Amino acid sequence: MDNDTNMYFDEDISEITQIVSRGFYILDVSFPLEYGRGTVSLTVLPIDEDRVGDYFREVEETLMEKGYIAFLRKPEGYETNYLLLVVPFSPPGERAKMWSFISLIATTATVFFAGYLMAANPSFAQIFGITNPWIVALSFTVSLLGIIGLHELGHLVASRIHGVKADLPIFIPMVPPYGTLGAVIRQRTPPVDRKSLFDLGISGPLVSFLMSIIASLVGLTLSKVYIGEVEGVFIPPPLMFGVLARFLIEVPEVPPGTPVVIMLHPVAFAGWLGMVITAINLFPVGQLDGGHVARAIFDSKKHQLISYAAVLILFFLKYYFFAIVALFLAMARHPGPLNDITSLDRKRKIIGILVPLSIIILCLPAPFF
């Protein structure tokens, strides 16, 4: 037994084996260097195969209290034995809430500025009869940050339900016309099993999808139809956006060849942005939300192949910027949950395939051909 590796466990190895033996038969104990210094590897069998998830959760929680983190994996070449790795673990400190607040203030400013520039555009102001662009900018800011903020709140609620410690979101400011790249949340402890990983991944997009629809409904009722040429940027409508517009906006009959333009109100633009962000985020790539969902359903190798396939689809659809970002995300393997043995329930598997695919089809704008 290597002295450098054993020194981590001279006092605790007996306690570790006692904790693990509450739910597993221990067949072998070793200190493999390939998993990193200070790792103890236990070859185990669950006392009851049907309750392996419950056993592992109890063992994992107890070991976490002792300063260790446990991983349950299936070693190659073994049909019945499991590998339980125990590693010294110190959760990263809670990120100062001040940084979340600062990022929110900065992003609010950039989003407000983007909304103000839209409202102050002479063509926009003339068509909408805008006299106070500050009010319009405020409505855009509330709508877009509401979509993004509630998306992150969905993640936080799911984290709280499953006992995963997470920091408050960090919002990412960006120059106009969008004003933001969204927000990110750092998890200080990993999800225990596939169920918690799935719920963490799907919760945010479901909320932002619903909020995007609400913003689009409100914004489209405020949008205007303009007959004739107008300066502006054409944005391709997602399928869902187009369906809502068809019911909410009445387009008058005009002579053939006469240009008809729907001028989006900034609230509708916020709904459009929310749909696009949600759709891109649900692609099964790396540690995007869709990547979490895919990793909860599939093993590591299949998830990696699916990630690269999703990158190719993004390139094919000519979303080059997102495809490049997704490629870097795909190159980093998803760590998976602590318990990578217990499979996901059938209901979540169906939801995990149909719901993200449906939202992507409904919310992703037509490719720029």
Amino acid at 357: L
pLDDT confidence bin for 5, thresholds 50/70/90 = very low
- In angstroms, the CA 306 to CA 286 distance is 9
Percent of all residues in the chain with a pLDDT value above 90, rounded to a whole number: 63
* pLDDT given for residue 10 in this prediction: 53
* pLDDT given for residue 116 in this prediction: 92
**How confident is the model over 318-353, as pLDDT tens digits?**
899 999 999 999 998 899 999 999 999 999 999 999
* pLDDT given for residue 3 in this prediction: 44
- In angstroms, the CA 50 to CA 342 distance is 9
Residue length of the chain: 369
Which domains, ranges and CATH numbers included, belong to the chain? 11-88 (3.30.1360.100), 97-363 (no CATH)
**How confident is the model over 129-161, as pLDDT tens digits?**
777 889 999 999 999 999 999 999 999 999 999
Query: Helix 266-281 crosses helix 346-363 at what angle (to 10 degrees)?
Result: 140
* pLDDT given for residue 123 in this prediction: 76
The DSSP 8-state label assigned to residue 40 in this structure reads E
- In angstroms, the CA 204 to CA 278 distance is 9
**Parallel/antiparallel/unpaired status of strands 82-88 and 68-73:** antiparallel
- pLDDT of residue 306 exceeding 90, the answer is yes
Average pLDDT over residues 300-315: 95
* pLDDT given for residue 74 in this prediction: 85
- pLDDT of residue 11 exceeding 60, the answer is no
- pLDDT of residue 6 exceeding 60, the answer is no
Alpha carbons within 13 angstroms on the beta-carbon side of residue 71 total: 16
**How confident is the model over 192-238, as pLDDT tens digits?**
999 999 999 999 999 999 999 999 999 999 998 888 776 667 788 89
* pLDDT given for residue 78 in this prediction: 64
The two three-digit tokens of residue 74, written as one number? 């299936």
146 burial class (0-12, 13-18, 19+ CB within 10 angstroms)?
A: middle
pTM exceeds cut of 0.85: yes
**Higher pLDDT pick, 210 / 41:** 210
**Higher pLDDT pick, 168 / 127:** 168
- Count of Cβ atoms closer than 10 Å to residue 62 Cβ: 17
pLDDT confidence bin for 369, thresholds 50/70/90 = very low
- pLDDT of residue 368 exceeding 50, the answer is no
**How confident is the model over 78-111, as pLDDT tens digits?**
667 899 999 888 777 777 789 999 999 999 999 9
Residue with tokens 């200070």: 38
Cβ atoms of 137 and 119 within 8 Å: the answer is yes
**Higher pLDDT pick, 216 / 15:** 216
